[in-house]
Chain A
Amino acid sequence: MNGAVLQVEGLGKAFREYRMEWQRMLGWFGGQQKPKSESWVLRHINFQMQAGESVGIVGQNGAGKSTLLKLVTGTLRPTEGSIRVAGRIAAILELGMGFNPDLTGRQNARYTAGLMGMSPDQIDAIIPAVEEFAEIGAYFDEPIRTYSSGMQMRVAFSVVTAVRPEILIVDEALSVGDAYFSHKSIARIRKFREEGTTLLFVSHDAGAIQSLCDRAILLDHGRLLIDGAPSDVMDYYNALIAEKENATVEVHELETGATQTISGTREAVVETIGLFNAKGESVEYVNVGEQVELRVRAAIHGGIPRLVFGYMIKDRLGQPVFGTNTYHTRQILEDVRDGEVVEFRIVFPMNFGPGSYSVSTALCSSDTHLVNNYEWRDLALVFTIANQNRASFVGTAWVPPQIEILQHRK
């Protein structure tokens, strides 16, 4: 097991339908019957997780994310392959935890803790902490049917995470409920992580994946497409969403070791891209707040009725820092001819914090790259911002402060 807390090998799950149900039943006693239809929701899934690692699962609806979590949790049984788990799993799958609407929050919390296998003493010990964490006040002793879905979520999350598990599994539940509790629960998850909990979670929120996970796994149609750094996986995922019939997705390994994803129909492609300083010199290192110009030359292959250029500056973790496009700036080009070269020059002050940044570019026909994606290019340009002459600060934004200090002495 070489320290892996979770090892998934050749995992597959099929939902089988039989012409008659007795054929399924016969199968339980060894008389294997041929099902009428068999749909593999997941197949050939292999990955492992080390203690303390956190992995995000991304993929489109129906990719098999929830099924994978249910298999790991154990509510669904695999059709083939194996899952080996070392340690206690706590899982929040969907909303509500099967609460009983007529029991109070407290009774339901005790019930759920009992379902998780806790003894009455343990339950007595955790309930005050659950009540405190959920912060629903007097509602804790009211029947669950009077709760909003956010309040149910609060109680569910508080109970399931009352004791730090070895493995925590969260299925999009964090997106439910208010921002305050969502922050609070993410803080608790971070704390667990520091204490050694392994986290496996599904989210559509790229930000959450990139800030919480060491690794991400992309599932598509039940297959594991890639398993890698969250920013690379998210780029690939974006490209995948944009993929259309005649579009291709290319992944390059850059010299820096990062992976670059390029997708689109290639009717318009970025030929060169560069960052220039005020003197017109090409630069890779930029000072905080320096005036710069981003120059992008795009070549057009085949006539295009509408052309929109977009760019996005991302930080080291792949989180968007700033992005816009010529649709929003009302500079849409109409009827661009074959063979034309279009140059975009964007002047802006580099008001970002020190660190490494990348630029992604998009050439498409409207404000989203989901329709007529001519080209989407991640990591088209990488540059570094250094703080050369400003007072030291942290963060990705440079917001020049004017601090006034008024001392009132008595």
Chain B
Amino acid sequence: MKLMLIAIWHYRHFILTSIRNDLRTRFARSQLGAIWGILQPLAQSAIYALVMGRVLGSRLPDTTNKYAYVIYLLAGLAAWTLFAEMITRCLTIFVDNASLLKKMVFPRICLPLIVSGSSLQNNVFLLGTTLAIFIIVGNDPTWAWLWLPVLIIVTLAFGLALGLVLGVLNVFVRDVAQVMNVVMQLWFWLTPIVYPVNTLPDHFALVLRLNPMYAIASSYQQVFLWGHMPHFKSLAVIFLASLLVLAAGLSLFRRASPDMVDVL
């Protein structure tokens, strides 16, 4: 563990450069460049707002804001986008970097850190735009917004913990990535992001309680739409659980490491 931290410290500049390169290459040959990183989730929310806004918007409780649904949607999507990006990228992180892992010797733990940094970077751009939209539609900042960094950290930790475990497993059993594609879609629709939670039938209550993304997404929504405190207790539980899973993930990663290049 100590060695790992020393290695990370030694490679800190490399990690930061890679995060920058990541942004540079992802949109390297598109005209609008990095703007796509923001445009895509915004377009997605515009579609939901158009299709569902009428039907679902009126179901949101305790608000008179006529843009309430848009705010609700954007808040939930800000959380989900970060989480989903972490999962999908961690899932294929070792497989995608196979040629690098076969040719160069470097601390492999850098890879998940680069993904975390670059996902965080994308998310910050998206959040910046989202907050700007909030202010434009007249949803003025409240003190509750200061909870945002905590929300981001919890989301990131949860995504990284789960993503690392899945990423290691996917090296050996490639079906994991395929299964996760489906699971992530199901997961998205089982989390109240597009629809208000009160539209769900009661027997989904257990599913919601077991879904960490519900607690996370609804915290975003609480903070931005209603200006309330987030579900502090659930967030703390999720964060601690994430740390445990992360520790397990690191241990799995360390044990799987010698076999990894053999099967890549």
Nearest residue (CB) in A for B10 is A117
Docked-complex contact B261 and A114, CB < 8 angstroms: no
Q: With the chains together, A353 CA to B47 CA distance in Å?
A: 84
Docked-complex contact B11 and A117, CB < 8 angstroms: yes
Q: A104-122 interface mask toward B, CB cutoff 8 Å, 1 = contact, 0 = none?
A: 0001001110111101100
Docked-complex contact B172 and A75, CB < 8 angstroms: no
Q: Does A180 contact B (CB under 8 A)?
A: no
Of A24-32, A245-253, A371-379, the one contacting chain B is: A24-32
Q: A68-103 interface mask toward B, CB cutoff 8 Å, 1 = contact, 0 = none?
A: 001001111100000000000101011011101011
Docked-complex contact A114 and B17, CB < 8 angstroms: yes
Docked-complex contact A75 and B13, CB < 8 angstroms: no
List chain A residues, Cβ under 8 A from B124: none
Given A115-B106, A117-B106, the answer on whether A28 and B25 have CB atoms closer than 8 Å is no
Nearest residue (CB) in A for B29 is A102
Q: What is the distance, in angstroms, from A96's C-beta to the closest C-beta of chain B? A: 7
Given A29-B255, A75-B261, the answer on whether A98 and B172 have CB atoms closer than 8 Å is no
Docked-complex contact B255 and A74, CB < 8 angstroms: no
List chain B residues, Cβ under 8 A from A28: 252, 255-256, 259
Residues B16-36 near A (CB distance < 8 A): 17-18, 21, 24-25, 28-29
Pick from A21, A76, A100, A102: contact of B262, CB under 8 Å: A76
Q: With the chains together, A374 CA to B258 CA distance in Å?
A: 47
Docked-complex contact B105 and A75, CB < 8 angstroms: yes
Q: With the chains together, A223 CA to B13 CA distance in Å?
A: 42
Number of residues of chain A lying within 8 A (CB) of chain B: 34
Q: Does A15 contact B (CB under 8 A)?
A: yes
Q: What is the distance, in angstroms, from B10's C-beta to the closest C-beta of chain A? A: 6
Nearest residue (CB) in B for A107 is B21
Q: B162-174 interface mask toward A, CB cutoff 8 Å, 1 = contact, 0 = none?
A: 0000000100110
Given A28-B255, A98-B100, A114-B17, the answer on whether A21 and B173 have CB atoms closer than 8 Å is yes
Docked-complex contact B102 and A93, CB < 8 angstroms: yes
Q: What is the distance, in angstroms, from B264's C-beta to the closest C-beta of chain A? A: 10
Between A and B, 16 residue pairs with Cβ closer than 8 Å are A15-B262, A25-B172, A28-B256, A70-B102, A77-B261, A89-B105, A91-B103, A91-B104, A91-B105, A96-B99, A96-B103, A100-B21, A102-B28, A103-B21, A107-B24, A114-B18
List residues of A whose CB falls within 8 A of some B CB.
15-16, 21, 24-25, 28-29, 70, 73-77, 89, 91, 93-94, 96-98, 100, 102-103, 107, 110-112, 114-117, 119-120, 143
List residues of B whose CB falls within 8 A of some A CB.
10-11, 13-14, 17-18, 21, 24-25, 28-29, 97, 99-106, 169, 172-173, 252, 255-259, 261-262
